[in-house]
Amino acid sequence: MTATGAIVEEGARGAPSGPWWWARRRSMVLDVALALVSALECLLEGVSFAHEVGMPAVLGGLIGVPVGAALVVRRRWPVAVVLISIATTPAEMGFLLGIVGLYSLAASEVPRRIIVVLSAASLLGTLVVAVARFHQDMAQDGYHPGWWSMLAISLLLALGLTAPPVLMGLYVGARRRLVESLRERADGLERELSLLAERAEERAVWARNEERTRIAREMHDVVAHRVSLMVVHAAALQAVALKDPEKASRNAGLVGDMGRQALTELREMLGVLRTSQGGTPVAERPGEAEPQRLAEVAVAASARARAASGVPVSSVVPGVPGAQGVLGVPVAAVVDGGPTLEGLEDLVGQSREAGMAVELSVEGEGRSYAPGVERTAYRVVQEALTNVHKHAPGAKAVVRLAHRDAEVALQVENGPSDGAGTDAGLPSGGNGLVGMRERVTALGGVFVSGPTDAGGFRVSAVIPDAAAA
């Protein structure tokens, strides 16, 4: 019996009006009724047998009553009931006991070899008694038929009393086992479906959490860097407003452009979060194939912002001299679904315009990597430079990029703040390093960050190339 069936059965046992209780009560009533009828039959047959052998009739009746009443335990001990019926066969007692006992034995879970042996013993006992009775009765009547005719009639009688109950019991037992197996299979399928539903719910919750984390990380990387540069330019604008009006005007224009573009990107991201294809929120559709990434939306918004601000197309196309957009993301990133390593020059140029001394060093022959690898590498450098603006104004930074056979290595190291730079008072939420580590480790890379002996800070990452692997 399955665990579910046992629980249901235990619950039914505890309730007097449950289906299990009613079925058991009907079975008990049937067994008691059969036992009473069998006891009455054995009582009469016991009295008759006592007269034939010269025993007291009371003794025959006393023997017959408990023999017939043995049907009460036919469900629990069917072997014992059949043995009693075989033992009383010479006394021609308990025909109902034998028939019902054989049926109960065949329908029970007793091994088949025991059923065959006891059925054969009952058949043989009935056959012997029938032959002896026929011979005795025919001799009294003065009729002497052949042995073959008496044997054939006795065999038919024995088979009629033995074969039908055994066959019926085998059929009922097989059907009962089939129903039990189907019920157990249904219970197993129900448990499996319940487990699948629970796992699906867990996966859905996990996917929603992952999507929220990815959204938060993308918004932090895409928007925070631009806003940080806006604050740095605003601080520089405040410092040179009276000394160099021309530079102040240029910084004010940069601040305005960055603010408009940051707002455009933010609106696009929020729009993707609220509605998507079919009106279903993206965060609530974790199983959709190839969902639209926020990075693609942000880069597309950047391109539209450039076009709206009148920036020439050649200024954002990689490979063209002087190619530099205000957001530092090349147009190729729009096609690839995110920023690439080709945009590192523009990214470093932004920090230089904000007053930071940044040096870019590239080792190895440049080549393309998987889009996720290039996007992650770009974000690591972007966030590292943003941290330099926040925590070490006026410090010199070195960005190192190394192209290798099956990986790309990055390192952004800055010295201590020289105190000459303008501290823009940028707030820090502590999510930058966490986001970088999550991005790198998600691709199977290694991320290390920490202070240097010279008082600066170093961020290092090694990202395996998924395309090469």
Q: What is the pLDDT of residues 408-422, one digit of tens each?
A: 999 999 988 876 655
What's the chain's average pLDDT? 75
Neighbours of 431 (CB within 10 A): 15
Mean pLDDT, rounded, for 306-333 = 37
Under a CB-based contact definition with an 8 Å cutoff, are residues 302 and 329 in contact?
yes
User: Quick one: pLDDT at residue 11?
Assistant: 43
Distance of alpha carbon 394 from alpha carbon 422, whole angstroms: 7
CA distance 224 to 227: 5
> Which comes out higher in pLDDT, residue 122 or 5?
122
Q: Where are the alpha helices (DSSP H) in 241-336?
A: 245-274, 294-308, 331-336
Burial of 134 (0-12, 13-18, 19+ CB in 10 A): middle
The one-character DSSP state at 72 is G
How many helices and strands in the chain, by DSSP H and E?
A: 14, 5
Both tokens of residue 220? 């932090």
Nearest residue to 214 (alpha-carbon basis) of 372, 447, 410, 331: 372
- Residue 243 pLDDT > 80: no
Q: What is the pLDDT of residues 103-132, one digit of tens each?
A: 888 888 888 888 889 888 888 888 888 887
| 461 close to 436: Cβ distance less than 8 angstroms | yes
C-alpha 345/C-alpha 230 separation (Å) is 19
Residue matched to tokens 């019902």: 100
Give the closest residue to 382 by CA, choosing from 337, 418, 351, 425.
351
Distance CA 39, CA 462 (A): 91
Strands 457-464 and 407-414, how do they pair?
antiparallel
Distant-in-sequence contacts of 174-183, Cβ < 8 A, 24+ apart: 176/107, 180/1, 183/2, 183/5
The pLDDT assigned to 462 comes to: 94
Q: What is the largest CA-CA distance in the chain?
A: 151
Residues 6+ apart with CB under 8 A from 281: 273, 274, 275
3-state secondary structure of 397: strand
Order of strands, sheet of 396-403, starting from the edge strand that comes earlier in the sequence: 357-363, 396-403, 407-414, 457-464, 446-451
Angle at 416 between CA 415 and CA 421, to 5 degrees: 105
pTM exceeding the 0.85 threshold for the entire prediction: no
Of the pLDDT bands very low, low, confident and very high (cuts 50, 70, 90), residue 185 is very high
**Tokens 């329908």 correspond to what residue?**
107
Specify the higher pLDDT residue, 361 or 46: 361
The single-letter code of the amino acid at 153 is I
**Higher-confidence position of 444 and 425:** 444
Work out whether strand 396-403 and strand 357-363 pair parallel, antiparallel, or are unpaired. Answer: parallel
Q: Give percent of the chain with pLDDT exceeding 70.
A: 73
